[in-house]
Amino acid sequence: MNLPTTYRAMQIRAPGQLELVERPTPAPEPGEVLIAVEACGICGADTADLGRAPVPGHEVVGRIAALGAGVPAALWQVGQRVGVGRLGGHCGLCSPCRRGLFHLCSDQPVTGASRDGGYAEMMTARHTGLVAIPPELGAVEAAPLLCAGIATFNALRKCGAQAGDTVAVHGIGGLGHMALQYARRMGFRVVALGRGTGIAQDARALGAHHCIDTGAEDGAAALQALGGAQAIVTTVGDAAAVAALLPGLAPQGRLVLLGAGKDPLPVSAGHLVVGERSVLGSITGTPWESERALGFSVLTGVRPLIETVPLAQAGEALQRMQSGAARFRMVLTMGQSMPAAEHRLDEQGDRKRH
């Protein structure tokens, strides 16, 4: 692959401000690859990352442009389609790695935060953080699956519910719209929890069997009226709103936290003990788990609903994501705007492509 001598990147100029710059194309260090980026999703966490690494972005899809020394050729070749998510590659040496807990590696770069991310035409990454992208997925639809997709897919896998159980998804935004689709296809009885009547139509189209407006009714009581939730997967960082749903758990139910709020979560110990209920956090996942999420998405037709914008408009796109105006994810492309194929959802959550 012929490499350009320079590449464009959206670099942080000041906290919360991005500027388009041109940089020399880097050579990958030992154990790393150079990726020619094709698409990079925008995540709400990118806002917190501004000011930490010069270039944000952790939902990256592209092709390997060069291999550093020591990268296993049996796994990775120049020209291969790969992705990189939030977790930038485990070290293989720390205690969690030796236990096989690669997603909890204590010496792992955070893409777009502790090292440059994918708001750029080129980026380097550890080979241990690479995800193989299935040919059935385009770059713009695969990118959000490397964060919103794997985060919700893994949370549902850990939630303890079985097919036919009631699973509630709290917060119908960038993560929640993925969780609804996965939950429906995993065979759960899916309940969408969100504020406002406007969520109901979208939520049902994405796979929800029931919709609860937490701004107009007691969400926990509504869940109990349905028999209680075996699991509640919450994407919301508001500790008070999350705590208010805990009485809606069925015995031995689990609350799975994806929203990383700063405030303490008030929990009634008696409620947990008497019903053997539990609360757990869930991070994204390993590259192998990401590949499982991508494979499941291909198998079942799960796709993110996205808007695409060119790299140079990353600042405006990030503001649109922050404001809640995006439906439901935004993806940067390295050329001009590249709209994904239009998808429509029917009331049963089945995707129709036009």
Domains and CATH numbers, the chain: 6-147+285-344 (3.90.180.10), 160-281 (3.40.50.720)
Between 77 and 195, residue with greater pLDDT: 77
Task: Tell me the pLDDT tens digit for each residue of 111-123.
Answer: 999 999 999 999 9
* Cα angle, residue 76 at apex, residues 306 and 35 outer, rounded to 5°: 50
What per-residue confidence (pLDDT) applies to 352?
Answer: 45
| Model confidence pLDDT, tens digit, residues 140-176 | 999 999 999 999 999 999 999 999 999 999 999 999 9
pLDDT level of residue 328 (50, 70, 90 thresholds): confident
Residue partners of 152: CB distance under 8 A and separation at least 6: 175, 176, 178, 179, 182, 233, 235, 258
CB atoms within 10 A of CB 93: 10
DSSP assignments along 233-259, one per residue: EE----HHHHHTTGGGEEEEEEEEE--
pLDDT at residue 340 greater than cutoff 60? no
pTM greater than 0.85 (yes/no): yes
Q: Is the peptide bond before 328 cis (omega within 30 degrees of 0)?
A: yes
pLDDT value of residue 198: 77
Q: What is the mean pLDDT of residues 311-318?
A: 91
In this predicted structure, the answer to whether residue 23 has a pLDDT above a threshold of 60 is yes
Interval 207-221 mean pLDDT: 95
| Amino acid identity at 200 | A
- What length is written for the chain? 354
